[in-house]
């Protein structure tokens, strides 16, 4: 602070933390939160933003996004993805390693950070890939800035093949010593391969065939196995994109046993089922793991509300229109964008009274920051921490339209959904990057989480 004068005060708001809501203000100086408290207690500021009685929350942290660069910049770039994120109220993302080249060596980590940095509008971390051939690279990747690691179980992407269980155990034993968490795409490779062959041989190529391939037990088994491996090796794990209510007792049991396990689910598993296929564009609903039949969303939402599932992420996975609109399910690219629409979808549940705004801050801001070693610098409103702040208008009505999204691949299964509540201003380290749905900062403001100062 310079003579008691701070850079910015956000006044006349309602500050939201997991513990509750209080009317008040935030003072920001040098990119950090200088103070929170009543409007009257704020220091003089160069600039005052009147929150107009709206809610002030920490920026959301999305630990599961596929930004696509390098290799697939026709689907998404660091510039487009971080614009979508900023407008959606997200101030930090963790990017997945299934790019080309995959993020599988220290050099690839450094190259991705160098590619991302001049484009990013928000802060970001990158995942390192775990494979059979790069176990010796795990420690160098962490030193090069990998924030966490990604383990594919059940993937059929040749860029990021699934390591065998022996290699998984060795990798987890190494990562246990690195102080990083392993995010796991948990499905059983053998079950998926076998069933795909059977189903294709039967001549089926519809959306239901994709669901029948990915039977519940394929993910339930992999969640169970990876929790056991975590318990055995001491390696912290994070269950990616939980889609199945039958996994919930296993997650609860692992937590009871003291396994260092966290879990996420995504809006498409909470708000969609196979019953929504027609509205979501038929085969375009394809995602791995699948959006299942009705009956999973309710238990998943309850688990998220109770904290059994720790956090909300999106598995933001954009593909082009042509890649999504295919007659055969086997040729339809899996996944869709999510980073821009997640907050407004969950806030709609807040507006409906299903959860509270403090619950939302816990699952979208605090929990991901804690799980990935970012707390309290991110995910809190504590003095001294990064001023990553979002102004939320709980009365703002919205309609989700793919054409309005800032991702390049903009086919959304939430097309036409009516929402209540959204981010109206996003600040990253004290700077306004998005306001009323527009980007107002320069690309390059975003920083790599683990980059040397
Ligand atoms: C992801 C993608 O497209 O990169 N697709 C998906 O259906 N979720 C890959 C993944 O997360 O497994
Ligand atoms: Zn996955
Ligand atoms: Zn993913």
* 146: phi then psi, degrees, rounded to nearest 5: -65, 125
Alpha-carbon distance of 441 to 409, in angstroms, equals 23
How far, in Å, from the CA of 318 to the mean position of ligand 3? Answer: 10
Per-residue pLDDT of 136-153, as tens digits, reads 999 999 999 999 999 999
pLDDT of residue 155: 84
Alpha-carbon distance of 193 to 433, in angstroms, equals 44
How far, in Å, from the CA of 348 to the mean position of ligand 2? Answer: 26
pLDDT of residue 3: 61
pTM for the model stands at 0.98
Residue whose CB lies within 8 A of the most ligand 1 atoms, among 335, 337, 408, 412, for a mutation test:
335
pLDDT of residue 451: 52
Taking the CB of residue 244, how many other CB atoms lie within 10 A of it?
Answer: 24
Q: What is the mean pLDDT of each run of 10 residues along the chain (453 residues)?
A: 83 98 98 98 98 98 98 98 98 98 98 98 98 98 97 94 97 97 98 98 98 98 98 98 98 98 98 95 97 98 98 98 98 98 98 98 98 98 98 98 98 98 98 98 94 48
Instruction: Establish whether residue 243 lines the binding site of ligand 1, counting it when its CB lies within 6 angstroms of any ligand atom.
Output: no
Full strand arrangement of the beta sheet holding 123-129: 60-65, 90-95, 123-129, 146-153, 182-186, 237-239, 261-265, 311-312
Instruction: Establish whether residue 150 lines the binding site of ligand 1, counting it when its CB lies within 6 angstroms of any ligand atom.
Output: no
H helices of 214-318, where?
Answer: 216-233, 248-256, 267-271, 297-306
pLDDT of residue 453: 43
């Amino acid at each position: 602070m310079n003579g008691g004068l701070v850079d910015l005060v956000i006044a006349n708001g309602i500050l939201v933390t997991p513990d509750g809501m209080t009317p008040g203000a935030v003072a920001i100086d040098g990119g950090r939160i200088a103070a929170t408290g009543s409007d009257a207690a704020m220091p003089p500021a160069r600039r005052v933003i009147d929150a107009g009685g709206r809610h002030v929350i920490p920026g959301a942290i999305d630990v599961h996004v596929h930004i696509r660069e390098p290799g697939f910049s026709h689907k998404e770039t660091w510039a487009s993805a971080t614009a979508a994120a900023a407008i959606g109220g997200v101030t930090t993302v963790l990017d997945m390693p299934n790019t080309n080249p995959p993020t599988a060596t220290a050099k690839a980590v450094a190259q991705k950070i160098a590619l991302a940095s001049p484009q990013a509008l928000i802060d970001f971390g990158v995942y390192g890939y775990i494979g059979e051939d790069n176990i010796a690279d795990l420690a160098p990747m962490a030193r090069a800035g990998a924030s966490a690691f990604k383990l594919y179980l059940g993937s059929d992407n040749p860029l990021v093949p699934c390591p065998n269980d022996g290699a998984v155990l060795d990798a987890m034993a190494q990562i246990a010593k690195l102080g990083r968490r392993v995010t796991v795409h948990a499905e059983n490779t053998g079950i998926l391969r076998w069933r795909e062959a059977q189903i294709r041989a039967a001549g089926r190529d519809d959306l239901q065939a994709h669901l029948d391939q990915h039977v519940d037990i394929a993910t339930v088994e992999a969640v169970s196995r990876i929790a056991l491996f975590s318990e055995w090796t001491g390696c912290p794990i994070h269950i990616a994109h939980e889609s199945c209510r039958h996994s919930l007792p296993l997650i609860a049991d692992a937590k009871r046993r003291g396994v260092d396990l966290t879990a996420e689910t995504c809006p498409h598993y909470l708000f969609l089922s196979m019953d929504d296929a027609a509205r979501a564009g038929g085969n375009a609903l394809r995602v791995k793991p699948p959006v299942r039949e009705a009956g999973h969303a309710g238990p998943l939402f309850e688990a998220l509300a109770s904290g059994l599932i720790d956090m909300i992420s999106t598995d933001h996975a954009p593909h082009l229109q042509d890649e999504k609109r295919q007659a055969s399910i086997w040729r339809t690219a899996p996944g869709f964008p999510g980073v821009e629409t997640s907050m407004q979808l969950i806030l709609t549940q807040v507006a409906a009274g299903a959860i509270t705004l403090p619950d939302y801050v816990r699952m979208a801001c605090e929990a991901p920051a804690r799980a990935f070693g970012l707390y309290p610098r991110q995910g809190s409103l504590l003095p001294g921490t990064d001023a990553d702040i979002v102004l939320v208008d709980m009365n703002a009505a919205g309609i989700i339209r793919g054409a309005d999204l800032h991702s390049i691949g903009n086919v959304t299964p939430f097309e036409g959904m009516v929402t209540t509540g959204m981010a109206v201003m996003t600040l990253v380290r004290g700077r306004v990057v998005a306001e009323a749905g527009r980007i107002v900062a320069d690309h390059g403001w975003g920083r790599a989480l683990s980059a040397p100062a």
